[in-house]
Amino acid sequence: MRMLLSNDDGCHAPGLEALAAGLADLGEIVVVAPDRNRSGASNSLTLDVPLRVRPLAPGRYCVNGTPTDCVHLALTGFLPHEPDIVISGINDGANLGDDVLYSGTVAAAMEGRTLGFPAIAVSLLDAEERPYETAVRVVRDLLTHLPKAGLPSNTVLNVNVPARPYEALLGVLATRLGSRHRASGAVADHDPRGRRIYWVGSAGEVADAGEGTDFEAVHRGYVSVTPLQIDLTRHAVLPSLVRWLGGLSSDG
């Protein structure tokens, strides 16, 4: 098995190193990851400056770009061989509910999926001590069973792992995305020259952590696996939109 690994915490992040080390015996691993922390980069591409790939070690590369840049570059020209799967993570912190809109971890997996490869995003919940080995074992379990999953090809798996020993996990649940309330306000301050600056505020509190959500699963101590699709079309609304737009043009 050939695995392309990336992340959004950067090529030196401990979660990525743990993942690469923990999967090494399963096949050939290539790591292509941002040269610094790009958490929150979402699905952005760098189009204003050239990208440079810097080798760190055999099979390990840093790129001066976003997670999406890394996977895009790897799959569209940099790698001599196509991988069998793209795995992004292990992210420091959860990517639950609305987080997936901003997450570079999820974006790296989405880019792999968009370019035609099976893809998994893996995040480990916040904790003082991060048990990366728990998330590594979860990924190994998923990889073992993935060929039998029968998932449609346009699916990305978003995996969130509670921060506890592997033996203390209660199991693995298929989930839907929950949601958060709107984010807390931007934090205003002044720079040393008296000019106004802002920090983006923290993520909103949980709004929908109801039954079947990713929030609920991890809160209960289960690994959450949410199937994500890249098509954002709200199909259920199409018929009423067709009627409304038809009315607009006949009024015209």
Choice between 39 and 226, CB closer to Mn ion = 39
Instruction: Return the range that interacts with Mn ion (CB under 5 A); candidates 22-30, 31-39, 107-115, 215-223.
Output: 31-39
Instruction: Return the range that interacts with Mn ion (CB under 5 A); candidates 73-81, 86-94, 110-118, 164-172.
Output: 86-94
- 207: phi then psi, degrees, rounded to nearest 5: -105, -55
Residue number closest to Mn ion, CB atom: 39
Q: Which of 4, 5, 35, 39 is close enough to bind Mn ion by CB under 5 A?
A: 39
* Least distance from Mn ion to the Cβ atom of residue 76, Å: 23
Q: Which of 3, 6, 8, 67 is close enough to bind Mn ion by CB under 5 A?
A: 8
Choice between 8 and 216, CB closer to Mn ion = 8
| 91 is a contact residue toward Mn ion (CB under 5 A) | yes
* Least distance from Mn ion to the Cβ atom of residue 186, Å: 20
Q: Which of 216, 139, 122 is nearest to 174 (CA)?
A: 216
Instruction: Return the range that interacts with Mn ion (CB under 5 A); candidates 2-10, 109-117, 196-204, 228-236.
Output: 2-10
